[in-house]
Amino acid sequence: MRHILSVLIENEAGALSRVTGLFSARGYNIDSLTVQTTEDPTLSRMTIVTHGSDDVIEQITKQLNKLIEVVKVIDLNEADHIERELMLIKVRAAGKDREELKRTADIFRGRIIDVTEKTYTIELTGTGEKLDAFIKALDATAILETVRTGASGIGRGERILKI
C-alpha cells in the first residue's frame, strides 16, 4: 500500500544521503521524496512517498528513526492529511490549440507563467492524481517538457509534526 511519511531531520550535510542510502540498502521503494528546511533553519522536513506491506512500512519507520539525525517520523496515512504536488509543464501552443490549452489549464486551475509565440508554461498544483489527469487531458504530442516535485504532505487540523 502507498504510504506518505513525514520526517523531521537535522539540517546537516549528508543527512539526505543517509535516508536515500537506507532505502536502497534495504531494498525499500522511494516513489518520491521532497525536502526543504523548515521555519527553524536547523531542521529539514522531508516527505517520502513509498509503498510496501504493513510490515515493511513498520520497518522503514523504525529504520528511519534509528538514523541519528532523524528527529521524528510520522506516517501521514494514519490520519487525515493533505498532500500537494507542484508541476511545471511546457506545451506547444500554436494556432488553434492555443485557446483550447488555456481553457484546459483554467479548468484545472493551472496558471500560465511563461508565454512565447509557440509555447505556454503552465504551473499546476494538486494531488498526484490531479496532475496525472491534467497530463491525460492534453494531447500527448503537445507536451514538450514536464517537471514535478513529488508530494509534500501535512496532517489535517490539529495534527502537528514539531519537536
Partner 1 sequence: MELSGAEIVSRCLAEEGVEFLFGYPGGAVLEIYDSIFKQDRFKHVLVRHEQAAVHAADAYSRSSNKVGVALVTSGPGATNALTGIATAYMDSIPLVVISGQVPSAAIGLDAFQEVDMIGCSRPIVKHNFLVKDVRELAATFKKAFHIAATGRPGPVVIDIPKDVTMARTEYSYPESVSIRSYNPPIKGHPGQIKKAAQLLADAKRPYIYVGGGAVQGGAAAQVTELVKMLNVPCTNTLMGLGALDGTDPNFVGMLGMHGTYEANLAMQYCDVLIAVGARFDDRVISVPGQFLSNPKKIVHIDIDPSSIAKRVKVDVPIVGDVKAVLTDLIAVLKEQNLKPNPDALANWWKQIDEWRKPNSLLYTPSTEVIKPQHVIETLWKVTNGEAIVTSDVGQHQMWAAQYYKFRRPKQWINSGGLGTMGFGLPAAMGAQLANPNAQVACVTGEGSIQMNIQELSTCKQYHTPVKVLSLNNRYLGMVRQWQEFFYGTRYSESYMDALPDFVKIAEAYGHVGFKVENPADVEPVLKEAFGPALKERLVFIDFRTDQTENVFPMIQNGRGLNQMDLPEHMRGMQQTPFENNRDYGNLC
Query: What's the closest the beta carbon of residue 9 comes to partner 1, in angstroms?
Result: 8
Phi, psi of 31 (to 5 degrees): -85, -40
Residue 27 in 3-state DSSP?
A: coil
Rule CB under 8 A: is residue 69 a binding residue for partner 1? Answer: yes
Query: What's the closest the beta carbon of residue 21 comes to partner 1, in angstroms?
Result: 5
**Residue type at position 42:** T
Rule CB under 8 A: is residue 66 a binding residue for partner 1? Answer: yes
Rule CB under 8 A: is residue 27 a binding residue for partner 1? Answer: no
Rule CB under 8 A: is residue 71 a binding residue for partner 1? Answer: yes
Query: Which residues, including other chains, have CB under 8 Å from residue 99's CB and lie 6 or more apart?
Result: none
Rule CB under 8 A: is residue 59 a binding residue for partner 1? Answer: yes
Rule CB under 8 A: is residue 41 a binding residue for partner 1? Answer: no
Using DSSP bridges, classify how beta strands 111-115 and 119-126 pair: parallel, antiparallel or unpaired.
antiparallel
Smaller CB separation from partner 1, 44 or 119: 44
Phi, psi of 104 (to 5 degrees): -60, -45
Query: What's the closest the beta carbon of residue 43 comes to partner 1, in angstroms?
Result: 9
Smaller CB separation from partner 1, 65 or 127: 65
Of the candidates 16, 20, 17, the one whose C-alpha atom is nearest the C-alpha of residue 35 is 16
Stretch that binds partner 1, among 13-21, 31-39, 133-141, 142-150 (CB under 8 A): 13-21
User: Is residue 22 within 8 Å of 28, Cβ to Cβ?
Assistant: yes
Smaller CB separation from partner 1, 55 or 129: 55
Sheet containing 2-10: give its strands across.
Answer: 32-37, 43-51, 2-10, 70-75
Judged by the rule CB under 8 A, the positions of this chain that interact with partner 1 are: 9-10, 13-14, 17-18, 21, 25, 55, 58-59, 62-63, 65-66, 68-71, 163
